[in-house]
Amino acid sequence: MRSTPAASEVLQTAFAVIMLCTMAAVAVSVFIPEVNYIAGALALLAMVGGILIAARRTRIVALIIAGVGTTALLVAWLGFGLDPSPSVLLDLNQDFITMIAAVGLLRLIAVSGDATPRLRGRAALVRTGWVVHLVGSVINVVVVGLAADRLRVGGRLALADASLLSRSFMTASIWTPFWVAPAVAASRVGETNLLGYTAIGFCIGMGLTAIFALDNARARTAEELRAFTGYTLSWRSAVVPMVLVVLIAIAHTVFPDTSVPRLVVVAVVLVVVVALIPREGVRALPAVVGYGVRNFASNRSETSILTSAGLLTTGLLALQTVTHFALPVAEFSGWTAWLVVVFITVLSLAGVHQFITFSIAASVIVPLQPEPTLFILSSTMGWAIGSIVGPLSGIANFLNGQYGVRNLELVRSNLPAAAVGLIVALPVLMLIDVTL
């Protein structure tokens, strides 16, 4: 879809304004739940706007999955008489697209984590992995940029370093409440023990990060490994992540029935505005709004895919309800959970976005009434492992666009880690299955 530069700029600004309105509606819905319907309608409008300005490949994918979801809904409605409620029709992942946009606001107050490194070699690899993992779990891909700027030499980021950062960053998607993967999975299974799930997922994420970091040593010569000092974290740069974690924990206690992504949106905006007051004064909030208008158009791909994926999930679940389609298994076991990990990983390797594979998996698994923690962990482990070998994943595109790392080269370097991740996932999920 071609347009003049002026028309494109107008569309991008309009999209950014719609995203700001959607974010405001999601934030207000924490206190007035009915406003979520408005947020859903705005998310649908954002999907249309995002498709209009997205890259051709993203546009085609979003239109296909939105078309499949809409068709499934129409078949369930007109063919089988299903009458979906407004709460179902307007459940379009608005919480998640606004959470992604809100986390992007943290760039306004991001502080470099560059402190004097004291470790070298494998110890420095593990430390770098854990720092990127922990800080990235809150401020998202911002930390990858900070670490990559510290690691690159002569403006170039080595493939081994890019591989380390991508692995360490994506394993955070297994557990962090600030990311979309656990939030989407949790939204499909109803009531979840958030603290219990987060604790288990955190241990798995940290463990996999260490394993992946040690595996990364194989890609380096003995001399390179001895010289590696990596990236470390200063206490100053840890303040914002710690404050956000505390705020989310308190908010979840006060509003236990509110989805975590909505709480993240409110907490992030609050923290960013307060942090900007010493610098901007009464213009702190206008500064945030201005940043959103200028930068939210960069979220067009995620918004298009995630919102259309929400429509796909809604349509497939509606169709499953009226057709009573079921998997040839009686329960969601550890083996079934592991097959979900394999399914998401394999399709990610083939270039299918994790949003789509999760939507397909959820539509046939949710009717089995899976144990929530087991289902969420299987989905997020698949999401994490699939992302590091997905040639079209967000982290691959980020490293390619910002640092010139070729997508397919990054995929090849991460294949051994993905294989290790799949091997580790089986006993982990089996153990969780028998203990929960």
Q: Hey, where are the domains in the chain? A: 5-435
Distance between CA atoms of residues 165 and 162, nearest Å? 5
DSSP 393-430: SHHHHHHHHHH---HHHHHHHHHHHHHHHHHHHHHHHH
Cβ contacts of 21 within 8 Å, gap of 6 or more: 42
Query: CA angle at residue 433 from 428 to 436, to 5 degrees?
Result: 115
What are the Cα distances from residue 96, in Å, to 281, 299, 307? 30, 12, 9
Identify the bridge partners of residue 156 per DSSP, sorted by sequence position. 153
Report d(CA 21, CA 38) in Å as an integer.
Answer: 10
The CA–CA distances, whole Å, from 356 to 338, 352, 353 equal 18, 7, 6
**Burial classification of residue 239, based on how many CB atoms lie within 10 Å of its CB (0-12 exposed, 13-18 middle, 19 or more buried):** middle
The residues near 163 (Cβ < 8 Å, ≥ 6 apart) are 216, 219, 410, 413, 414, 417
Can you tell me the distance from the alpha carbon of 384 to that of 421, in angstroms, rounded to the nearest whole number?
A: 9
Q: Please say whether the beta carbons of 168 and 415 come within 8 A.
A: no
* Rounded Cα–Cα distance for residues 136 and 169 (Å): 6
Q: What is the pLDDT of residue 114?
A: 55
C-alpha torsion angle, residues 428, 331, 189, 364 (rounded to 10): 110
Q: What is the pLDDT of residue 201?
A: 92
**pLDDT over 60 (residue 113):** no
pLDDT tens track for 237-288: 678 777 887 888 788 788 877 877 788 889 889 999 999 999 899 899 999 9
CA dihedral (26, 30, 34, 39) in degrees, to 10, reads 0
Percentage of residues of the chain with pLDDT beyond 90: 39
The Cα–Cα gap between 133 and 127 comes to 10
Cα–Cα distance measured from residue 208 to residue 203, given in angstroms and rounded to the nearest whole number: 9
Q: Measuring CA to CA, which residue among 109, 121, 102, 96 is closest to residue 39?
A: 96
**Which tens digits make up the pLDDT trace of 288-309?**
999 999 989 888 887 888 788 7
How many Å apart are CA 148 and CA 157, to the nearest integer? 7
Residue 365 pLDDT grade (very low, low, confident, very high; cuts 50, 70, 90)? confident
Between CA 56 and CA 304 the distance in angstroms is 12
Place of tokens 């402190």: 115
Instruction: State pTM to two decimals.
Output: 0.72
For residue 54, give Cα distances in angstroms to 47, 303, 403.
10, 10, 22
Exposure string for 298-322, b = 16+ CB within 10 A, e = fewer: ebbbbbbbbbbbbbbbbbbbbbbee
Q: Is 181 helix (H, G, I), strand (E, B) or coil?
A: helix
Q: How far apart are CA 372 and CA 426, in angstroms?
A: 17
Mean pLDDT of 124-137: 91
In sequence order, the β-bridge partners of residue 153 are 156
The pLDDT value recorded for residue 46 is 92
pLDDT, mean of residues 150-156: 81
Q: Write the pLDDT tens digit of every residue in 400-436.
A: 867 888 889 999 999 999 999 999 999 999 999 998 7
DSSP 3-state assignment of 15? helix
The amino acid at 373: T
Tokens of 273: 């505005």
The pLDDT score that the predictor gives to residue 309 is 79
Element (H, E) at 190: none
Please count the other Cβ atoms lying within 10 Å of the Cβ belonging to residue 98: 32
CB 409 within 8 A of CB 159: yes
